[in-house]
Amino acid sequence: MAHILQRHARRIVAHSSSTTRFFSSYANKTLWSSNQILQSRIESALDQKSNISTVLEQWRQQQGNQLNPSLVRGIIEKLHDSKRFHQALDVSDWMVKRKICNLAPEDLTARFHLIKKVLGLEEAEKFIESIPRNQRGESIYTALLNSYTESDKMYKAESTFEKMRKLGLLSKPCPYNSMISLYDSFGDRDKVDEILREMEENNVELDSFTVNKALRVYASVSDIEKMDKFRAGFEANANLELSTTLDMAKAYLGKGFKGKAREMLRKTEKFWDSESHVELMTLYGRAGEVDDVLRVWKMAKMTRKQNNRGFRALIGSLLNLGDINQAEEVYYNEWETAGLELDGLIQTMLASGYREKGMVNKADQLMYKTLRNRQLDIPITPMLEEWGKQGNQVKPSDLRDLIKNLTDSNQFSKALEDYATRLHLTEKVLSLEEAQKFFDKSMPDNMKDYSVYTTLLTQSKTLDKAESIFEKMRELGFLFKLPPFNKMISLYSELGKRIEIESLLKEMKENNIEPDSVTMNNVLRVYACVSAIESMEKYKSEWDDDDYKLEVKTMDAMAAAYEREGLTLKAIEITPSKNEVYRLWNEYKKDDKEGSRGSSRVV
């Protein structure tokens, strides 16, 4: 077998990062106490980015061809743990070539992991095929199964699991855990239940991973009955993880069990970290009392410096619990004195809380003060929308004064944004017709943003008027940037107008306007809509080597087009949904002949 393993050595590229004292934290101090010279040489080789195998070979010859196998294994382990995978595989190849020892199952498993890291899973599979069948033990099959489940290779994972079942290698929880993770990622809860039943029938003891994973599966579908039953039977033998208790609390809240949710959140507090306080406060804001929220906030302040994200969670939770006074106290006594950047969202949140309590004057005063703040360097649209909610006492003169103040203080971009926002608000609150009047009569010429107006028309699918405005922009010479084209292409894509889109693409090319991801996705969706497979694939191929990314709805549309045309394998390859992959694969397997031919592409 050695000559088969050695071929991997030729493909290893020497790689290492600089190091100080490589063995300074090595656990086996006794082993290295008599090998200080070798240790020094290895660290020097790492500094010089040289192969460790050369150092080991020289040392072996100096020691009369004798070398402790445990020492070599320790070097491989240390290199692996420090992410020097190329160096680790180089040493492993040398160990095989020089027959330092008979390879134990652990050696084979370690080599599998290293080959997968350095050369990829396909080469690692070839390595396993090179191992005699009588030497392929539980550890190597488990490692292979883990690799398949981690990469969502359903067919190969199920085949490997079945092989382990036939060989009697399913005596430990690890393989079952891998399959539970895989089926959970595909949303197949029935399969998860089957795996748990098989573990029970085979008297395989559930470990903490199994218990936590199963509880999260039940929590994800809000199956409270099964979750509680499973928890009662196995919680005593496992340590619940932070993510598990949080997921369970969310499941309880989703079904209205606030008492159980609070109980689970209390468990979370026992092992929470400083990063989880935001989620804890938010969940207590739905399930607990004000005291719960403030208790978590107090703990958080003791462990880390607070930021706007934490204040948003705190104030939002207090408002959700109806304590406007406490939220107000936190804002004025803690946030304003914390020296944080002006957030905008916090002020908007508190203003909404004021309005819900009928405290309209306080809401308006807070928003006006915030908008006039010269340190406000964020989009003001959300605050203007809050200010424009029904029930406010803001007068048109207030908005005019605001725009004047913004302009006078050299914050002209905010003034322009305000006009754009008012245009959006007019359309949203009144009507598109009123927005058109506002655009035509109320906006100064130097404030007219035709792209915003075009956006309104395209979003409302007002084709004639959108085309009219687009033509006006063409006459005025405003079509020198991509956004207006994207708006029209988006509208045409929604309406399935392929010819019009191709005309715009031609115009863009003539004007040297480069398309972007938005353009590409809209074009692909319209081709998919009319099942123009050849055009769709040709257009996609033009962008395969670039940084453009397909949107989920684009991949969904393309998968649907392939399925309509009977190209199931292509549908499987493009769909972003694991559930769809599972469904399409099961459909495809109904044809045994095609299923056998296509399985390699699917997995």
pLDDT at res. 91: 86
Select from 84, 140, 133, 79 the least CA-distant residue to 108.
140
pLDDT at res. 25: 46
* pLDDT exceeds cutoff 70 at 518: yes
* pLDDT exceeds cutoff 50 at 428: no
3-state SS string over 475-489?
HCCCCCCHHHHHHHH
Q: Distance between CA atoms of 418 and 371, rounded to whole angstroms?
A: 11
Cβ contact 88:18 at 8 Å = no
Q: If pLDDT is split at 50, 70 and 90, which confidence band does 594 have?
A: very low
* pLDDT exceeds cutoff 80 at 596: no
pLDDT at res. 193: 93
> Helix %, strand %, coil % for the chain, to 5?
75, 0, 25
* Cβ neighbours of 315 (radius 10 Å): 26
Structure tokens at 251: 């499941």
pLDDT at res. 378: 52
The whole-number average pLDDT for the span 11-33 is 42
pLDDT at res. 463: 67
Higher pLDDT, 94 or 436: 94
- Whole-number percent of the chain with pLDDT over 70: 73
* pLDDT exceeds cutoff 80 at 285: yes
* pLDDT exceeds cutoff 80 at 532: yes
Select from 178, 112, 190 the least CA-distant residue to 151.
178
Q: If pLDDT is split at 50, 70 and 90, which confidence band does 139 have?
A: very high
* pLDDT exceeds cutoff 90 at 319: yes
* pLDDT exceeds cutoff 50 at 31: no
Select from 78, 71, 96 the least CA-distant residue to 12.
96
Number of H helices, E strands in the chain: 36, 0
Higher pLDDT, 259 or 530: 259
- Whole-number percent of the chain with pLDDT over 90: 31
Q: Distance between CA atoms of 248 and 259, rounded to whole angstroms?
A: 12
Query: 361 burial class (0-12, 13-18, 19+ CB within 10 angstroms)?
Result: exposed
Q: Distance between CA atoms of 125 and 148, rounded to whole angstroms?
A: 11
Higher pLDDT, 440 or 584: 584
* pLDDT exceeds cutoff 80 at 276: yes
The whole-number average pLDDT for the span 470-475 is 68
Select from 383, 316, 390 the least CA-distant residue to 353.
316
Cβ contact 86:64 at 8 Å = no
CA-based end-to-end distance of the chain = 28
* pLDDT exceeds cutoff 90 at 593: no
Q: Distance between CA atoms of 66 and 57, rounded to whole angstroms?
A: 10
* pLDDT exceeds cutoff 60 at 353: yes
The whole-number average pLDDT for the span 449-466 is 51
H or E element at residue 245: helix 242-254
pLDDT at res. 517: 85
Query: 547 burial class (0-12, 13-18, 19+ CB within 10 angstroms)?
Result: exposed
Select from 85, 34, 28, 84 the least CA-distant residue to 59.
34
pLDDT at res. 377: 52
pLDDT at res. 387: 52
Q: What is the pLDDT of residues 98-125, one digit of tens each?
A: 888 888 889 899 999 999 999 899 999 9
Q: In terms of residues, how long is the chain?
A: 603
The whole-number average pLDDT for the span 367-396 is 57
pLDDT at res. 80: 87
* pLDDT exceeds cutoff 60 at 219: yes
Q: Distance between CA atoms of 142 and 184, rounded to whole angstroms?
A: 18
Cβ contact 188:180 at 8 Å = no
pLDDT at res. 389: 54
User: pTM score > 0.75 for this model?
Assistant: no
Higher pLDDT, 494 or 528: 528
* pLDDT exceeds cutoff 80 at 47: no
Higher pLDDT, 435 or 538: 538
pLDDT at res. 273: 76
Q: If pLDDT is split at 50, 70 and 90, which confidence band does 145 have?
A: very high
pLDDT at res. 402: 53
pLDDT at res. 265: 94
Q: What is the average pLDDT value for the chain, to the nearest integer?
A: 77
Q: What is the pLDDT of residues 194-218, one digit of tens each?
A: 999 999 999 999 999 999 999 999 9
* pLDDT exceeds cutoff 60 at 508: yes
pLDDT winner (highest mean) among 10-19, 376-385, 481-490: 481-490
Higher pLDDT, 323 or 482: 323
pLDDT at res. 472: 64
Going from N- to C-terminal start, the domains of the chain cover 1-134
* pLDDT exceeds cutoff 60 at 301: yes
pLDDT winner (highest mean) among 231-245, 251-265, 379-393, 443-457: 251-265
DSSP string, 401-445: HHHHHHHHTT-HHHHHHHHHHHHHHIIIII-HHHHHHIIIIIS-G
pLDDT at res. 544: 62
Cβ contact 100:91 at 8 Å = no
